[in-house]
Amino acid sequence: MRKVHSAGIAERLGAWVSGLSLSHVPEAALHVARRCIIDTSAVAIAGSRTGVAERLRAHVSGQYGSGACTLLGTAHSASALGAALANGTAAHALDFDDTSYAGVLHGSTIVLPAVLAAAQQADIAGGQFLEAFIAGSEAAYALGLTLTDSHYMRGWWATGTLGAIGAAAGAAKAGGLDAEPVARAIALAALGAHGMVAMLGTDAKPILAGQAARLGVESALLAAQGHSAPLQVFEDPRGLLALMNEGRADAAGLEELGQTWRLMEPGIAIKRHPVCSAAQAAMELTGTLIAENKLDREH
């Protein structure tokens, strides 16, 4: 008897991403996506002036060659891989980027630089660009809900791991890939996904964001060339779920893809202050207390 093939996570995501059209997306989700793009671009421009971003651009200039992809906040450009690395680093350099609690990750800071680089290389813009950003974001957040917060609590930095996979999905969508190569791009990114919470408080944190964006773009480019990848990378006994999440997975994360839009529910938190999301409420309360008690902010 012939064994019936059961589509795994990579294939299911690949089919959904390749089939996504803006006509499927509610206006409220489109609004959130546009806001994320604007906010993340602004945050990356501000972050481009930090020391870590400046050093990264020097590294990109020396190691990645020239290209036509924008380096946000500068008059310079780079190759797609170099731009994704530099812009991802800049977007996270100030800790000012948006946050989703669908797995606890900064999705936009990884997905946008990857999609921007892939879109410029593929010479697409407008609706196709927005479509790719939404596809990558929703894929990352669906995985965040599938792995649940336990992935992050085990020490894996979900922004780097799941963000890279979302970046691959978005970059593959921007490149116009069909379902099967999108699935291979996702699998390639899953194989290389990395990032440990041990990096907190060092330059490694924003650099890891840049590396995740670069991995997403490179995975899409390799898939477009026809390279093979294990499509059961999540489910394999030696795969991502087993190694990074003790085999745990919440099926609802994928089953609700395209029905419950994660850009809307749980939604995206846009920061008002350049600090960790967990500190935003404390910052607001501190400002209120200073104002109410007419305290000197400097002392």
pLDDT in tens, 95-150: 989 999 998 899 999 999 999 999 999 999 999 999 999 999 999 999 999 999 99
Residue 156 is given by DSSP the state B
Mean pLDDT of 15-33: 98
Residue 70 is given by DSSP the state E
Could you tell me what percent of the chain has a pLDDT over 70? 90
Per-residue pLDDT band at 3 (split at 50, 70, 90): very low
Average pLDDT, the chain: 93
pLDDT tens, 224-272? 999 999 999 999 999 999 999 999 999 889 999 999 999 999 999 886 6
Question: In this structure, are residues 144 and 253 in contact, taking their beta carbons and an 8 Å threshold?
Answer: yes
Instruction: Write down the domain spans for the chain.
Output: 9-271
Residue 275 predicted with pLDDT over 90: no
Question: In this structure, are residues 88 and 113 in contact, taking their beta carbons and an 8 Å threshold?
Answer: yes
Mean pLDDT of 30-56: 98
Q: Angle, nearest 10°, between helix axes 126-147 and 9-19?
A: 150
pLDDT of residue 270: 84
pLDDT of residue 29: 98
Could you tell me what percent of the chain has a pLDDT over 90? 85
Question: In this structure, are residues 91 and 40 in contact, taking their beta carbons and an 8 Å threshold?
Answer: yes
pLDDT tens, 138-160? 999 999 999 999 999 999 999 99
Of 183, 181, 142, give the one whose Cα is nearest residue 162: 142
Mean pLDDT of 36-48: 98
pLDDT tens, 177-233? 999 999 999 999 999 999 999 999 999 999 999 999 999 999 999 999 999 999 999
Question: In this structure, are residues 167 and 126 in contact, taking their beta carbons and an 8 Å threshold?
Answer: no
pLDDT of residue 294: 72
Per-residue pLDDT band at 2 (split at 50, 70, 90): very low
Residue 289 predicted with pLDDT over 90: no
**Predicted TM-score (pTM) of this structure:** 0.93
CATH 1.10.4100.10 correct for 9-271: yes
CB-side exposure of 166: number of CA atoms within 13 Å? 32
